Structure 1
Amino acid sequence: MHGMSFHGGVAETILFDGWHINDVSGMISSAIGIILLTALYEGLKSYREYLFARTEFFKKNQRKSRNVLLFSRVHFFQTLLHVIQVVLGYFIMFIFMTFNYWLCIAVGVGTAVGYWLFAWEKTNNNNTDCCS
């Protein structure tokens, strides 16, 4: 058991007893997996924002009752994606809370890679709805 301070090393248990690493190759493969997991989290976040924007467009162009939208397939799908996003977010938080700086760096790199891959449209967005 490690203290509540940042540390290095390659002996770590990550999330589950079955995900225990003891050597450099285990740390490298785990870091790559964490980078992919965190990038997936960022991609899921961007996809949910995209779906939300499309749903808002749909709601503006259709006059449907609140109950129809509440029980729509899109809303159920959004709910499922939200649950997956929250669980992945907690997994990533728990990985960071190992305080192993190699794993923390992997989380940071994964966040950067995920944002770079999936949120690049935000920088090209000419949407001025917020300010008009």
Structure 2
Amino acid sequence: MKDHFNFDVPLKNFFFKDLNVETTGGLVGTCLVVGAMTFLLEGAKMLMLYWSARIKQNPLTYGLTDFEDDNDRDDLTASLMIPASLEQIRSRRVKYHCLGLLTHIINLLMGYIIMLAVMTYNVWITIGVIAGSGIGFYIFGALGSNMQAKYAGLTPSLEEPSNFQINLAVPEEQHI
């Protein structure tokens, strides 16, 4: 294994022993596969943000974000769809947590594979990783900002005081 960046076409023992990339076409294909993995890694990062937003979501707003059929639900009836029990809320949060766990495992696995690809010190592989990450961030970053805007008001905040106030003062009688 070399300890400096190079432009060499033959890659010996790419990920496994005897997995060699001998041709320029093979190198281009390898760059595309590694770039696609990096693109998917960016998507998986956004998916992790989605799962964490769903876990933190106020249970009273589930009807505003769970759309099975958009034609059947409007804002008025969606606000009335509250969870039936605490057990339903817990099971939903456990489901989102388990999906987040699987997404985290996939993130970790793909991250290490991409790291190993860059550690071949091949410039073309590194360019494929950078291009895949840039394209992924461009596409999934827009989805991430839309998701943050959607869930920003649906997360309960314990630090902020409630805007709901009860005024118990009796108004003074006005004299004419």
Q: Same fold by TM-score, threshold 0.5 exceeded?
A: yes
Alignment partners' CA distance in 2, 1:109 and 1:55: 32
Please give the alpha-carbon distance, in whole angstroms, between the structure 2 residues aligned to 1:117 and 1:108. 14
Superposition deviation, residue 116 in structure 1: 1.2
**Which of 66, 81, 85 does residue 107 from structure 2 map onto?**
85
- Kept in 1, the 8 Å contact 2:54–2:96? The answer is no
Amino acid across the alignment from 1:47: L
Instruction: Give the equivalent residue in structure 2 for 1:111.
Output: 133
Match of 1:29 in 2: 29
Give the superposition deviation at 1:80: 1.3
Q: Structure 1 residue runs of 4+, over 2 Å off?
A: 58-65, 121-129
* Equivalence map 1:1-132=2 (5 Å): 1-2=1-2, 4-12=3-11, 13-17=13-17, 19-58=19-58, 68=90, 72-122=94-144
Unaligned runs of 5+ in 2: 62-82, 161-176
Letter in 2 for 1:7: N
Report deviation, 1:19.
3.5
Name which structure has the greater RCO, CA cutoff 8 Å, separation 6+: 1
For the aligned residue pairs, the C-alpha RMSD in angstroms reads 2.9
Unaligned runs of 5+ in 1: none
Q: Distance in 1 between matches of 2:138 and 2:130?
A: 12
1:37-85 per-residue CA deviation (whole Å, 9 max, x = no partner) reads 11011111111111211221146868959xx46x822211211111111
Distance 2:59 2:121 in 1: 44
Paired-residue identity, %: 25
**Tell me, what secondary structure is at the counterpart of 1:78?**
helix
Q: Amino acid of the residue matched to residue 43 of structure 1? A: G
Write the letter of the residue equivalent to 2:6: H
Q: Secondary structure at the match of 1:36?
A: helix
CA-to-aligned-CA distance 1:5-49 (integer Å, 9 cap, x gap): 111111113222354201100000111111111101111111111
Choose between structure 1 and 2: higher helix proportion. Answer: 1
> What is the TM-score of this pair, normalised by structure 2?
0.62
Deviation at 1:119, TM superposition (A): 1.4
Q: Which has the higher Rg, Structure 1 or Structure 2? A: 2
